[in-house]
Amino acid sequence: MLRGRQRIVTQAQDDPYDPYWTSEGEDGTRTLVFLLSFRYRDELTATISRAGWSVVAARRSDALEQRMLASGAAIVLIDARGALDEALAATARLAGHVGARGGALIALVSRNMVGSLGAFLSAGATHFLTSPISQSELVHGIRFAEAHCRRSLVDPRMLRREGAPGPLQWRWDGAENVELNAPLAAKLGEERRISARAALRRVPLDERRPLIAALKRLRAGSVADVVVHVLPEIGRTVQHLGRSAGSAEIRAVLELPASELAAPASRDWLTGALDAAGAREWLQRRFDSGGPISALLIGLVRFEIVNTALGRAAGDALLRSVGAKLTERASTSLGRDAIVARLGGADFLIAAPCETQRMELYGAEVQHLLSRPLSTPAGDARVGARLTVTERQAGDDPVTFLRRAAEALARAREGHLPESGQSAAQSIERLAVDIRAALDEKEIEIRFQPQVEIASGAITGVEALARWQHPVLGELGAELLLAAADRAGLAGAVSNAIQRAALDRAARWPRSLEHLRLSVNITADDVAQPDFAERLLQRVDRSGFPRSRLTLEVTETGLMEDLGAAADLFSKLRTAHCRVAIDDFGTGYSSLAYLKSLPLDYLKIDRRLSQDISGSARDRVIVHGVIEMARSLGLGVIAEGVETEEHLDLLAKEGCQFYQGFLCAEPLSVDALQALIEGQSA
């Protein structure tokens, strides 16, 4: 098809069209493409729809972010032909939202615009296509973008605006019934399958004619159409209709009226975190609702050196890595109400509705996290951080709150304030005072994180992990609990309490969990006690949990404090039919000599080593060597901290047998674990 002198999308004679059917979820929701084309919307919509994707198409950028987010689209295609400036602006507006959810943003440019590709990539585009382009090339480009979404661990069908029920879709193959996806059925109060007549009666009589005419055009051979009408339960609605090549099935996506499209949070395109405007909006909402607000402002140090020495691509990768790690840790340590924002440059903000003491403790975790090397495409890079904690004061608005935090960070950079880690140490001292009450009031709870056999995908065991339900600070992780216990001189008592609670809880598991192994941690202090094996086995027997399904884990650093005592303890435990694992391997001495001398069953690779496998070739060689070493000694290998399919695939290729991490599940309650296991069995 030609328009003026420019070929839009053509189908070459030697390039037969191959219809592509996209995946569909259990709720009947198909992968969506959101298209913005200022000149050629209808032609592109027809091509994409013919290939099997559902399309929400726009010709103007009005309410652009709201429409894209409400659509739930995994893939955004921005057609810049004939509208370069508008397309660049739209890319910048959408990139943060797309990147935050692991989606793909494709820029389609004409050949004479190739010089602008750098601007599109800087604005946040993840892929690009150039025109003239055949239908097959366009379809394969979208397929490639869809694969990118899956590699990002985001199900393309599940990308949607927070709080929204999901895209509203239906399909009809010309037979008696129309099939609604779950969100639309819930919106209409209907079953998933209703008669075509009943579906048509949902549309007011005086507005049915355009819809019927559009359906007839599609049945006659058209592949895309748009109809606007009223649905009483929804309001004025835009229906984007489509039909795949070679199929009689008609699909539709319903757009909600503009009044129901909430304004989206403003996001940083590089990291997917909130940007400064998004942070101010969040703070304003929290200030309006009342309650405590604390914020941690983080300024990376040595970032400019990394950016200069390794290049901008490495610097960008480092910022993305920091943003992802801060987000994961904030959710775990501060709860789901916490936010992470990049305020600009190498400065990040974490804010949460919590007391200052809890934010200071989180600051200690961040300080430790950012002291480790971070992987970039150009190699490992070390950065540090200056941190300050700020709490809301009377009369604060978001601007004054953030200004006060920035001034405190500036003073910290000049050396006029102690680093946040020192404040955190003081907070741990204060927590140590509460340890005795935690034991007396049974504030320590147990969660179970699944361990998965890679070959079968089956959950074969769990690790028991402690959580401290602090009466003031809320849920605190095991690291803070054990640090405070050590400071209070109660490390042994807390370790005993955790072991006892884990065994007692596991002994009462429902039948569906009775096949699982249980891993329990023991400390260096436990290893050093001469009678620990006897006391532990008595505790196991009193609980009723089978010895043969119990694994005891000790950290590499902990056992090195007394290798002889560790060897004696492990021998006694294995003789009693328990199994023994080295935890966090790769953080300490990592010596082949002591592995050969100790009676062991498993080696657990530390999360940093597991995640390094997707780094440089040198990193992969190291991980390969560790796995080969363990297997040559007859040890099972469990990789910790596995968070992506890429990590899992690479570990599997190297011969790793088990994994544990957020890719499967976070640490779960017994009820949540039971639901996961039973769902897997079903």
Q: What is the pLDDT of residue 249?
A: 86
pLDDT of residue 263: 57
pLDDT of residue 356: 84
Task: Indicate if 249 and 300 belong to the same structural domain.
Answer: no
pLDDT for position 466: 92
Using the predicted structure, report yes or no on whether residue 629 has a pLDDT greater than 70. yes
CB 271 within 8 A of CB 320: yes
Q: Within a domain: residue 215? A: yes
Instruction: Using the 3D structure, point to which of 238, 261, 284 is the last residue of a domain.
Output: 261
Pair (177, 284) in one structural domain: no
249 and 320, same domain (yes or no): no
Where do the DSSP E strands lie in 454-555? 459-470, 474-476, 517-522, 550-555
Asked whether residue 282 falls in the same domain as residue 255, the answer is no
Domain span including residue 315: 276-417
Contacts of 286 (CB under 8 A, 6+ apart): 293, 351, 353
Q: What's the total number of domains in the chain?
A: 3
CATH code of the domain in which 579 resides: 3.20.20.450
Q: How far apart are CA 287 and CA 278, in angstroms?
A: 14
Residue 369 shares a structural domain with residue 502: no
Per-residue confidence (pLDDT) for residue 77, from 0 to 100 = 95
Longest dimension (CA), the chain: 88
* 413 in the same domain as 519: no
Instruction: Mark whether 480 and 379 lie in a shared domain.
Output: no
The CATH code of the domain that includes 140 is 3.40.50.2300
pLDDT of the residue at 561 = 59
The reported pLDDT for the residue numbered 558 is 62
Phi, psi of 562 (to 5 degrees): -155, 85
Phi, psi of 300 (to 5 degrees): -65, 140
pLDDT at 20: 30
Indicate whether 626 belongs to any domain.
yes
Whether residue 428 is contained in a domain is answered as no
Q: Which pLDDT band holds residue 258 (cuts at 50, 70, 90)?
A: low
Q: Give yes or no: residues 378 and 484 share one domain.
A: no
Residue 206 CB partners (closer than 8 Å, separation 6+): none
Continuous H helices in 4-134: 41-50, 64-71, 84-100, 117-123
The H or E element that residue 366 is part of is helix 356-370
Does 423 reside within a domain?
A: no
> Are 518 and 399 part of one and the same domain?
no
The answer as to whether 427 is a domain residue is no
CA distance 609 to 620: 9
**How high is the pLDDT of residue 509?**
95
pTM confidence score: 0.50
Residues 412 and 483 in one domain: no
Q: What pLDDT is attached to residue 557?
A: 64
Would you say residue 431 lies in a domain?
no
Q: Report the pLDDT value the prediction gives residue 334, as an integer from 0 to 100.
A: 86
pLDDT of res. 416: 44
- Is residue 432 included in any domain, yes or no? no
* Sign of the C-alpha dihedral computed for residues 264, 268, 271 and 276 taken in this order: negative
6 occurs within a structural domain: yes
* Domain end residue (candidates: 228, 261, 294): 261
pLDDT tens, residue by residue, 136-149: 889 888 988 887 77
Range of 9-18, 135-144, 451-460 with top mean pLDDT: 451-460
**CB neighbours of residue 220 within 10 Å:** 7
Q: Rounded to whole angstroms, what are the CA distances from 542 to 405, 477, 510, 516, 517?
A: 53, 27, 19, 19, 18
pLDDT band at 12 (very low <50, low <70, confident <90, very high): very low
The enclosing H or E element of 621 equals helix 617-632
| Cα pseudo-dihedral 150, 152, 153, 154, rounded to 10 | -70
Distance of CA 58 to the CA centre of its chain: 29
Domain with 402 in it: what CATH number? Answer: 3.30.70.270
Looking at the predicted structure, is the pLDDT value of residue 169 above 70? yes
pLDDT tens-digit map of 461-503: 999 999 888 777 677 778 778 878 887 788 888 999 999 999 9
Read off the pLDDT of each residue in 90-105 and give the average, rounded to a whole number.
80
Looking at the structure, tell me whether residues 59 and 167 fall in a common domain.
Answer: yes
For 587, phi and psi rounded to 5 degrees?
-100, -15
Last residue of a domain, one of 388, 417, 446: 417
Please tell me whether residues 555 and 485 are part of one structural domain. yes
DSSP 160-202: --TT----EEEEE-SSSEEEE-HHHHHHHT--SEEEHHHHHHT
Residue-level pLDDT at 23: 43
Contact status, residue 453 vs residue 460, Cβ threshold 8 Å? yes
Structure tokens that stand for 157 in this block: 């069908």
- Bridge-based pairing state of the strands 133-134 and 168-172: unpaired
